[in-house]
Chain A
């Protein structure tokens, strides 16, 4: 047993050294402008791009009336320029496929809670479906907090996130290489095109959720409640082709989650002012004209409720 322990330890040291050495090498040698690691290793996401820029910008402007958090629905659906034009400073901290568990970690570790008057969390049914890997992969590569990255990797316990952690170490020695596409202002990325979704209605479906995502949302709400983070859940407009039944059940689910917390959920999913042909970039993301309309409606509501007023 002793021999097994000693040899096992030596073997572990050898593996760790080889692994870290290879990761640093694969991350520093580039092929066609991107590191070899990005091309060959399963699940590796890029370093740089909008996620990197967003966190970089946030570190210099943490004092905000409003911070928006969530997935691509968030960073493509809330334009800080519109809020600013209405006297509200806003920052968008959304990221690719951001999972609920990762949102909670970002609120804990990255959000400046003292300097945020209101936190808007963009929620919608699909958020409760994925495995969370894409979200963690992007954030581990690009978020500024080592602690947050470590927490995300541990949460997922997937070998691919271990690889991402190792590459994160390597990223400290190289310049971000991903191009900055669509990044507009204070975390927001705009979509100007419209694909013109058909007006035909889709078949109805039920709202389904994974238990672990529901547990993460509960934890997130409790954390905000205990730490006096002023949380507002919002669901941005959806094309009317989306299943009404699914959104009805989803709203009931969210209402149940918020019960007794004092937090609210604003649902714009069935707002009829939004046309599938003109206001959407694809089947579930708003385009710039949709964002303009939605953000004005939201600002009116926030002002009515005095949710962003400074003390």
Chain B
């Protein structure tokens, strides 16, 4: 079920009404049934995969909790990790490997064809498998105790607000909250609704509004010049941010209404002053997952320098691959890894250089320049993320860097579109860029404004959604991951 679908507008209020009517001891059952229904509304049979993953991790963690020696727990951890990775490999990565092996074999002159799978990628598979793997590792490490109640554990795996696109939650944060008796609290419910509303605004007004133009430009990228593709990539940067952070806002807001605090997933990432900061503000639940379960176990930065670079590159390559079974995602991840490694290598030089030209004395100018450079680096990587294949990405890069700018092509692009709608989308986007940090603080409860002002503000947001929204039930971009 999509958050921006008609079905969700019936489903969510009904779940909330029953949730507040039920005694605490039955609420888990309601939420679990609702979560299964939420997922099955997409493709009913794929719920079996979630059930399988749930049962394996539940039994394995129970088994691990009964063993004192970490050494003896290890084989059970591998059962959990390998079963989840096998699910991922079968449904998400099999065709990628099969196609690449085919290519390799064909180079040797053989015509052996590895079969291609026709399985559909299950929605949210990367999110719930990572969530359950984190749980198994935490139990193995002894950071948490294994959950004995199958119902609560199943709910942790499938909790519908964050099931299909995160935030990827930790058991430590989420599981215990299901047991807390939560009464209807007006300020909390109002805050949750505001965050949901802001999420819907980002999705249906901004992301889906500019998405029309981005999709068109990338579909016909061979016909457009560097300026148009540069503009399309910049718009894509905001499309994906609004799409994904919009989803997270709806998820966090919905959970908040029902008494659960999910972790923050975005913190105005395009205001980051370097790539390292970008990753502490973009898809926070995933980057902290990689930090805690891969980067630190690899040794993090407490190793020799070359090993530190290797750790960073490996984490970002895997992070890119996590997003999708395509070389474009791997290159996107690799680019971010390279940015970080270069930032470390040139840290000293960068400090001396900025000091020499007097930028250190002008922190505002320096911050502005750093934000600009970080944004451009992120943009460059987005070209690979958005392109269908590497050749398309390279073609776009060439057009931009060879300054293949022909204004008439851009004019043609604008003329082919509904100009007034494009202009409105751009104007709304400009307003959004200005107000996003302020709104982010407001909907997350870090800022408070007078009630009347708040009412007019959110009525205005509803008005924008009604008048400028795109209501074609467009999928969230991160669903495919």
Query: Inside 8 A of A158's CB, which chain B residues have their CB?
Result: 6, 471
Query: Inside 8 A of A3's CB, which chain B residues have their CB?
Result: 186
| Chain A residue at minimal CB-CB distance from B9 | A157
Q: Is A19 an interface residue (CB 8 A)?
A: yes
Q: Is A162 an interface residue (CB 8 A)?
A: yes
Give the docked Cα–Cα distance between A18 and B471 (Å).
20
Let me know if B467 and A163 touch, CB within 8 A.
Answer: yes
Give the docked Cα–Cα distance between A75 and B261 (Å).
57
Contact digits for B322-344, partner A, Cβ 8 Å, 1 yes 0 no: 00000000000000000000000
Which A residues from 270 to 311 make CB contacts under 8 A with B? none
* Contact residue among A14, A160, A162 (Cβ-Cβ distance under 8 Å from B455): A14
Query: Inside 8 A of A157's CB, which chain B residues have their CB?
Result: 6
Give the docked Cα–Cα distance between A189 and B421 (Å).
30
Give the docked Cα–Cα distance between A162 and B467 (Å).
10
Give the docked Cα–Cα distance between A7 and B190 (Å).
10
Give the docked Cα–Cα distance between A162 and B6 (Å).
13
> Known contacts A19-B466, A42-B470; is A14 also within 8 Å of B6 by CB?
no
Expressed in whole angstroms, the minimum distance between the Cβ of A31 and any Cβ of chain B is 8
Query: Inside 8 A of B79's CB, which chain A residues have their CB?
Result: none
* Contact residue among B190, B420, B460, B469 (Cβ-Cβ distance under 8 Å from A159): B469
Query: Inside 8 A of A195's CB, which chain B residues have their CB?
Result: none
Query: Inside 8 A of A39's CB, which chain B residues have their CB?
Result: 420-421
Contact digits for A3-45, partner B, Cβ 8 Å, 1 yes 0 no: 1100100110011001100100010000000000001111100
Expressed in whole angstroms, the minimum distance between the Cβ of B453 and any Cβ of chain A is 12
Give the docked Cα–Cα distance between A22 and B459 (Å).
12
| Chain A residue at minimal CB-CB distance from B460 | A18
Query: Inside 8 A of B190's CB, which chain A residues have their CB?
Result: 4, 7
Q: Is A1 an interface residue (CB 8 A)?
A: yes
Expressed in whole angstroms, the minimum distance between the Cβ of B471 and any Cβ of chain A is 5
Contact digits for B188-212, partner A, Cβ 8 Å, 1 yes 0 no: 0110000000000000000000000
Query: Inside 8 A of A163's CB, which chain B residues have their CB?
Result: 466-467
Let me know if B186 and A4 touch, CB within 8 A.
Answer: yes
> Known contacts A1-B184, A3-B186, A40-B424; is A15 also within 8 Å of B469 by CB?
no
Query: Inside 8 A of B470's CB, which chain A residues have their CB?
Result: 42
Let me know if B463 and A19 touch, CB within 8 A.
Answer: yes
| Chain A residue at minimal CB-CB distance from B462 | A15
| Chain A residue at minimal CB-CB distance from B454 | A11
Expressed in whole angstroms, the minimum distance between the Cβ of B275 and any Cβ of chain A is 36
Q: Is B468 an interface residue (CB 8 A)?
A: yes
Contact digits for B1-23, partner A, Cβ 8 Å, 1 yes 0 no: 00000100000000000000000
Let me know if A160 and B471 touch, CB within 8 A.
Answer: yes
Which B residues from 387 to 441 make CB contacts under 8 A with A? 420-421, 424
| Chain B residue at minimal CB-CB distance from A44 | B467
Query: Inside 8 A of A162's CB, which chain B residues have their CB?
Result: 466
Q: Is B349 an interface residue (CB 8 A)?
A: no
| Chain B residue at minimal CB-CB distance from A43 | B471
Which B residues from 1 to 47 make CB contacts under 8 A with A? 6
Query: Inside 8 A of B462's CB, which chain A residues have their CB?
Result: 15, 19
Contact digits for B153-195, partner A, Cβ 8 Å, 1 yes 0 no: 0000000000000000000000000000000101001100000
Q: Is B456 an interface residue (CB 8 A)?
A: yes
> Known contacts A22-B467, A41-B468; is A15 also within 8 Å of B420 by CB?
no
> Known contacts A10-B455, A18-B463, A163-B467; is A4 also within 8 Å of B424 by CB?
no
Seed contacts A40-B468, A157-B6; 18 additional CB < 8 Å A-B pairs: A1-B186, A11-B455, A15-B462, A18-B459, A18-B463, A19-B466, A22-B467, A39-B421, A40-B421, A40-B424, A42-B470, A42-B471, A43-B471, A158-B471, A159-B466, A159-B469, A160-B471, A163-B466
Report the 6 A-B pairs with minimum CB-CB distance, sorted nearest first: A39-B420, A15-B459, A14-B459, A4-B186, A3-B186, A159-B471
Residues of A with Cβ closer than 8 Å to B? 1, 3-4, 7, 10-11, 14-15, 18-19, 22, 26, 39-43, 157-160, 162-163
